[in-house]
Amino acid sequence: MTVKIFDTTLRDGEQSPGVSLNAEEKLRIARQLAKLNVDVIEAGFPVASQGDFQAVQKIAREVEGPIIAALARTNFEDIDRAWEAIKDSSNPRIHTFIATSPIHMEFKLKKSPAEVLENAVKAVKRAKGYTEDVEFSAEDASRSERDFLCKIFQAVIEAGATTINIPDTVGYATPGEFGELVGYVCENVSNIDQAEVSVHCHNDLGMGVANSIAAVENGATQVECAVNGIGERAGNAALEEIALALNTRQDYYNQKTALNLQEIYRTSRLVSQLTGMDIQFNKAVVGKNAFAHEAGIHQDGVIKERTTYEIMDAKTIGLKENRIVMGKHSGRHAFRDRLAEMGYDLDREELNHCFKRFKELADRKGELTGLDLEAIVEDQFGQSPELLQLKLLQVVTGNGISTATVHMLKEGEKMLESVCSEGGPIDAAYEAINRVAGLDCRLDIFKIDAITGGKDALGNVTVKVEHEEELFLGRGVSTDIIKASAVAYNNALNKIMAAKSRKGR
């Protein structure tokens, strides 16, 4: 039996504190989710903002394959706006919701159960007038009264809902009771055979994945989840963990998904890069240490037979061991073939840019690993149009004072020079860049990671810069951490300038 995967990375996942994706970043993730072959992409909440509406609309128009869903409360304004955003999709879905627990109805909605039921039915009928594919969610279902839950599900299915969703909105349930709840709904809603049964589990007590799997065991046919488990508060059930649990233990669950598991790792890394949310090293399936062995006994066992300590094959999720040594003597053909093995399909211009970057790095570092190559390509793809080009950076530091000199080309015009002295080398570089850019912005987050090991490791700098109450993500990669910091900051400023250009300011 196949369990449908409803991905909410772009909706609930983007609600993670500190995460703000622009339309292009959302589209890039959506395209990767299509490669992953998820069944449904919940692209956003169109009524929330004009930016979210435009992102959902762009995804609906440009991403083929999965169902494209838009979220809406049970009011006509939300539903009309959702349809306007997704109507150009070849597979549109309206996903409408209202809370059904006593605590939510009394204190948040200030509505009686009868009013909630009436709102739900009217909303589903309104949505059904636009599209055949309508999903209804009973928010906070795990704390709702079971008989009322069954009553509202029965009514919305009669009104035309084709999927009903049972969310553990606040991560309150335990696997045993949540599985029992799903089973109870399946047994006590007489028309349940006319709809998919979905679940949406949060991870506040660390049981989001366990609750989702328990639901599948008790009749759920769709699981709502997010890449890397991102989302409100402690996040959602993690897509990759659910997928690999069902795949690895088919002998027990007798369930599978339609996912292209080879795209799991790439999807995870892309979401982490664009959201700026790190993946913990010991994260199941996609963490840095998920397929690493340090203890001598483990190493000995894995060398003799991989399955002694690995229940999953790293290749299943798209990880590959380095078999070809890539260094300064490698040619363009070998470079292109190695990237193709890693799943990257670059056009001529992209290949030339990446190959030049590869040669520069190989001259300094010698041999490059697969992670080095991945960083080069992801860094290239993550760049905005360079309205502000950093042509030279020189920093002199000593006695507590650093002086940075930058030469920059602004909007393709004459070269500009800026010199600034500050306490630290990165502070000095950033202030010098600011003077050329002429932007009023504030550095909100600055983060440095080593992508690879050794004294010549690639440094990955991620910054978030605030401008006019919006956050812009920038990223830079180099063996020179000062240069990586300047490139990351310049990348973020380019995104600000591109945004201002689009708005005509």
DSSP letter string over 122-178?
Answer: HHHHHHHTT-S-EEEEEETGGGS-HHHHHHHHHHHHHHT-SEEEEEETTS---HHHH
- Give residues with Cβ within 8 angstroms of 97, minimum separation 6: 71, 72, 73, 74, 136, 137, 138, 139, 165
Does residue 119 or residue 319 have the better pLDDT? 119
Confidence of residue 369 (pLDDT cuts 50, 70, 90): low
Q: Tell me if residue 192 falls in helix, strand or coil.
A: helix
Residue with tokens 């209804």: 136
| Calpha distance 146→439 (Å, rounded) | 56
Confidence of residue 420 (pLDDT cuts 50, 70, 90): confident
Among 47-61, 148-162, 365-379, the range scoring the smallest mean pLDDT is 365-379
Half-sphere exposure of 235 (CA within 13 A, CB side): 17
> Between helices 146-159 and 113-128, what is the axis angle to 10°?
30
Average pLDDT of span 292-296: 48
Among 56-60, 354-358, 500-504, the range scoring the smallest mean pLDDT is 500-504
**pLDDT exceeds cutoff 80 at 306:** no
Confidence of residue 244 (pLDDT cuts 50, 70, 90): very high
Average pLDDT of span 96-120: 97
**pLDDT exceeds cutoff 80 at 324:** no
Nearest to 471 by CA among 451, 444, 498: 444
Strands ordered across the beta sheet of 470-478: 442-450, 459-467, 470-478
- What is residue 382's predicted lDDT score, i.e. its pLDDT? 55
CATH 3.30.160.270 fits 388-502, yes or no: yes
Confidence of residue 413 (pLDDT cuts 50, 70, 90): confident
**pLDDT exceeds cutoff 50 at 296:** no
- What is residue 341's predicted lDDT score, i.e. its pLDDT? 65
| Calpha distance 425→42 (Å, rounded) | 43
Q: Are 33 and 7 spatial neighbours (Cβ–Cβ below 8 Å)?
A: yes
**pLDDT exceeds cutoff 50 at 221:** yes
Instruction: Please give the structure tokens belonging to residue 86.
Output: 């997704």
**pLDDT exceeds cutoff 90 at 332:** no
Determine what percent of the chain is predicted with pLDDT higher than 70: 89
- Taking the domains of the chain in order of start, what are their residue ranges? 4-275, 320-381, 388-502
**pLDDT exceeds cutoff 80 at 371:** no
In our burial notation (b when 16+ CB lie closer than 10 A, e otherwise), range 208-235 reads bbbbbbbbbbbbbbbbbbbbbbbbbeeb
Task: Indicate the average pLDDT of the chain.
Answer: 88
| Calpha distance 447→104 (Å, rounded) | 39
Residue 450, H or E segment: strand 442-450
Q: How many CB atoms lie within 10 A of CB 314?
A: 16
| Calpha distance 33→40 (Å, rounded) | 9
| Calpha distance 388→384 (Å, rounded) | 10
Confidence of residue 65 (pLDDT cuts 50, 70, 90): very high
Residues, the chain: 505
Among 28-37, 176-185, 315-324, 329-338, the range scoring the smallest mean pLDDT is 315-324
- What is residue 34's predicted lDDT score, i.e. its pLDDT? 98
Residue 340, H or E segment: helix 332-341
- What is residue 343's predicted lDDT score, i.e. its pLDDT? 63
**pLDDT exceeds cutoff 80 at 269:** yes
- What is residue 505's predicted lDDT score, i.e. its pLDDT? 56
Q: Tell me the CA distances in angstroms from 501 to 384, 391, 497, one per residue in order.
A: 13, 22, 6
- What is residue 295's predicted lDDT score, i.e. its pLDDT? 46
Q: Are 45 and 16 spatial neighbours (Cβ–Cβ below 8 Å)?
A: no
**Residue 75: exposed, middle, or buried by beta-carbon count in 10 A (0-12, 13-18, 19+)?**
middle
Instruction: Please give the structure tokens belonging to residue 262.
Output: 């080879």
Q: Which CATH class is domain 4-275?
A: alpha beta
**pLDDT exceeds cutoff 70 at 484:** yes
- Give residues with Cβ within 8 angstroms of 374, minimum separation 6: 269, 342
Q: Which residues are registered as beta bridge partners of 406?
A: 393, 418
What is the separation of C-alpha 151 from the centre of its chain, rounded to a whole number of angstroms?
Answer: 35
Average pLDDT of span 322-340: 66
Strands ordered across the beta sheet of 401-410: 388-398, 401-410, 415-422
- Compute φ and ψ for 171, nearest 5 degrees: 65, 35
pTM > 0.85: yes or no: no
> 3-state secondary structure string, 64-94?
CCCEEEEEEECCHHHHHHHHHHHCCCCCEEE
Confidence of residue 294 (pLDDT cuts 50, 70, 90): very low
Confidence of residue 323 (pLDDT cuts 50, 70, 90): very low
Determine what percent of the chain is predicted with pLDDT higher than 90: 58
Average pLDDT of span 172-193: 98
